[in-house]
Amino acid sequence: MSALDTGLGADLTQLAYLLAAVGFILALKGLAGPRTARAGNLVGAGAAVLALVATFVYFPLDHKLLMIVAIAIGTAGGVLGAQRVQMTQMPQMVALFNGVGGGAAALVAILELNEMQPDPVSSVPRFVLVATAFTILVGAVSFSGSIITFAKLQELMTSRPVVFPGLPVVFGASLLASVAVAVLIILGSPTWIGVLLALLGLAVGVLLVLPVGGADVPIVISLLNAFTGLTVAAGGYVLSNVVLLVAGTLVGASGTFLTLLMAGAMGRSVANILFGALKGGSTLGAGEASDRPVRSAGPEDVAIMLGYAERVILVPGYGLAVAQAQHTLRECVEVLQARGIKTAYAIHPVAGRMPGHMNVLLAEAQVPYEQLIEMDDINDEFQHTDVVLVVGANDVVNPAARDTPSAPIYGMPILNADAAKQVVFLKRSMRPGFAGIENELLFMPETTLLFGDAKDSLSKLLAALKQL
């Protein structure tokens, strides 16, 4: 696509692109806080629509009708997905959206490479060819890697690390071959070389994500999201499109920061998360249920423990989201507060399947944001707490992260629930958490387990609390 022509139409289009870019920046700012997240999301969507309309109005595009049909189908699919996808499935949805973005960027770059034929070296700046090769390779990596993360989270394949003899060699050879083919594109090779590069990128993406298991998968989603942003930015350079360049840069930068923050919250490096399974350092994924004896109780006994406490801390996790029990949990907390009991929600940075998962889930249940306390601010309070109620969480309170160097989650900062006087776990079974290892806190003398579906257990607990 050629650069914008001069004239009023070009000026208006550039102005629309500028406004869209500003809108993306404001949207990102809005998404940084729970109170402004909804407005930020709407601003971002509006900016995307503005950029799209400006492109359709100004540029003499071919096959506009087919594009409009495709946009209509995509819009319908997006609306349907937003209405039907559960909160527990949001990470999978993010992975799919991210993968589609990377794949689309790679396809556009291949088409642009075809437009540069037959002699791109003499007519196209070398850096444009570099950006084109980068977009094809990294976009393909993002696409295939995101599909694998989706399959792992959706349990279409095992969530455990998948390794085989010679995996590092195959991965290294694929990566080197990709770089070599990218160099051929920069030197002016034909379009089919671009297709070959995309195929190699698909292989690299699969090999990159297969060894990742368990709780590490959401971090890889964030990393691949950063990859997609960078490909969109590079594609914007190839297309001479400022709004794509700005939007891609924002996504790439924010995705990179989020990846580093999530890795830091788990006390590990990104390299260890990606390649830890090759030396036994990745989280394991699904594991076997334990048959060790534990102390269990019924809803009435737990209600007595909570109802006569002075301070209670709630630790929500992915199990709360699966059971859709956030509203019932809020009602239980309101009953406790009415009895004069101090309560707070302890939020781990990677509770659930992605950052902010618990914040959004509890906001949906109209839990006041002031009651949500981040890990660093509440950890010292556990030692002064009578009862900690853990609802569907496991790894984020597992002392192995602090005490067991051989554990795959060792070094991950955790909520110090074991420092409280009593701990109550709401669990469906004795299966381990997402990391695939046992939680010794379950077997400690101060811990009581209430077995069952979280929503059903909380409903019975709520009824018992009201009768105290």
Provide the pLDDT for residue 1: 43
Q: Return the DSSP state at 411.
A: T
Provide the pLDDT for residue 434: 64
Residue partners of 380: CB distance under 8 A and separation at least 6: none
Higher pLDDT, 11 or 257: 257
E strands, 337-446, are 342-347, 372-374, 387-391, 422-427
Q: What is the dihedral angle through the alpha carbons of 292, 352, 253, 180, rounded to the nearest 10 degrees?
A: 50
Higher pLDDT, 21 or 81: 21
Higher pLDDT, 137 or 401: 137
Helices (H), 154-298: 167-186, 191-209, 217-239, 242-265, 270-275
Provide the pLDDT for residue 334: 94
Residue partners of 311: CB distance under 8 A and separation at least 6: 341, 342, 343, 381, 384, 385, 386, 387
pLDDT band at 299 (very low <50, low <70, confident <90, very high): very high
What is the mean pLDDT of the segment spanning 191-218? 87
Two tokens at 218?
A: 């959401």
Provide the pLDDT for residue 4: 44
- Residue 403 annotated as catalytic: no
CA dist 8 and 221 (Å) reads 42
The pTM of this model reads 0.77
Residue partners of 276: CB distance under 8 A and separation at least 6: 211, 216, 268, 282, 408
What is the mean pLDDT of the segment spanning 21-38? 85
Provide the pLDDT for residue 97: 87
Q: Is 409 helix (H, G, I), strand (E, B) or coil?
A: coil
- Identify the weakest region by mean pLDDT among 87-91, 319-323, 362-366, 463-467: 87-91
pLDDT band at 117 (very low <50, low <70, confident <90, very high): low
**Active-site position among 395, 418, 453, 456:** 395
Q: Percent of the chain scored above 90 by pLDDT?
A: 39
Average pLDDT, the chain: 85
Identify the CA nearest to 401 among candidates 466, 332, 349. 349
Q: At what angle do helices 37-58 and 64-84 cross, to 10 degrees?
A: 170
Q: Return the DSSP state at 267.
A: T
Helix (H) or strand (E) holding 448: strand 447-451
Helix (H) or strand (E) holding 314: strand 311-316
The full set of domains in the chain, from first to last, is 85-279 (no CATH), 299-466 (3.40.50.1220)
pLDDT band at 2 (very low <50, low <70, confident <90, very high): very low
- Predicted confidence (pLDDT) at residue 71 exceeds the cutoff of 50: yes
